């Protein structure tokens, strides 16, 4: 895809659900995995905005993958996800999700996620995850 922001590559993980949601793209920024996607018509609700469920999915993925990476674990499960919408994304917008890990050690991990279109934050999410035993 030629219109990707610099440093983004196809997301390394996939599943039938993620294939239906995507295409998703990733970028590593220091210790943080950023996820992004270009809003397509199929991502939009009837009013022409990115569907809230799509943005919640993006937040959940970003939180989970970053907490698992930070913990050195084999996986994690969402326990709680709280999402606040402060704006919207439209057809053609590049949406970027970034996690801020608060605590990744132990069996319970916490992080915040911010989803932006350019410099404009449109979603704030807070997640609590159960983290599997670290890789041994």
- Work out whether the CA dihedral 129, 132, 135, 136 comes out positive or negative: positive
| Long-range Cβ contact pairs of 41-46 (< 8 A, separation 24 or more) | 41/91, 44/90, 44/91
pLDDT at position 59 over 60: yes
pLDDT at position 19 over 80: yes
> Is residue 81 included in any domain, yes or no?
yes
> Is residue 4 included in any domain, yes or no?
no
134 pLDDT band, cuts 50/70/90, is low
Pairwise CA distance, residues 49 & 55, whole Å: 11
pLDDT above 70 as % of the chain: 96
> Is residue 58 included in any domain, yes or no?
yes
> Is residue 84 included in any domain, yes or no?
yes
**Mean pLDDT of the region 4-33:** 91
**What domain count does the chain have?**
1
Least confident span in 14-23, 77-86, 96-105, 119-128? 14-23
List the CATH number of the domain containing 48: 3.10.129.10
> Is residue 97 included in any domain, yes or no?
yes
pTM for this one?
0.92
> Is residue 1 included in any domain, yes or no?
no
Q: Would you state the torsion angle of the CA atoms of residues 84, 93, 117, 112, taken in this order, to the nearest 10 degrees?
A: 50
Q: What is the mean pLDDT of the chain?
A: 92
**Confidence at residue 115, expressed as pLDDT on a 0 to 100 scale:** 98
> Is residue 36 included in any domain, yes or no?
yes
**By residue range, what is the domain housing residue 116?**
9-131
């Amino acid at each position: 895809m030629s219109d990707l922001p610099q440093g983004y590559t196809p997301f390394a993980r996939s599943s039938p659900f993620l294939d239906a949601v995507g295409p998703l793209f990733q970028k590593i920024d220091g210790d943080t995995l950023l996820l992004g996607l270009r809003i397509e018509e199929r991502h939009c609700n009837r009013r022409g905005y990115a569907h809230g469920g799509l943005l919640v999915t993006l937040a959940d993925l970003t939180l989970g993958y970053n907490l698992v990476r930070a913990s050195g674990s084999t996986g994690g499960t969402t326990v709680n996800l709280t999402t606040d919408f402060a704006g919207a994304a439209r057809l053609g917008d590049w949406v970027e999700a970034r996690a801020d890990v608060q605590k990744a050690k132990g069996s319970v991990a916490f992080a915040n996620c911010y989803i932006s279109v350019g410099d404009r934050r449109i979603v704030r999410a807070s997640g609590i995850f159960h983290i599997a035993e670290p890789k041994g």
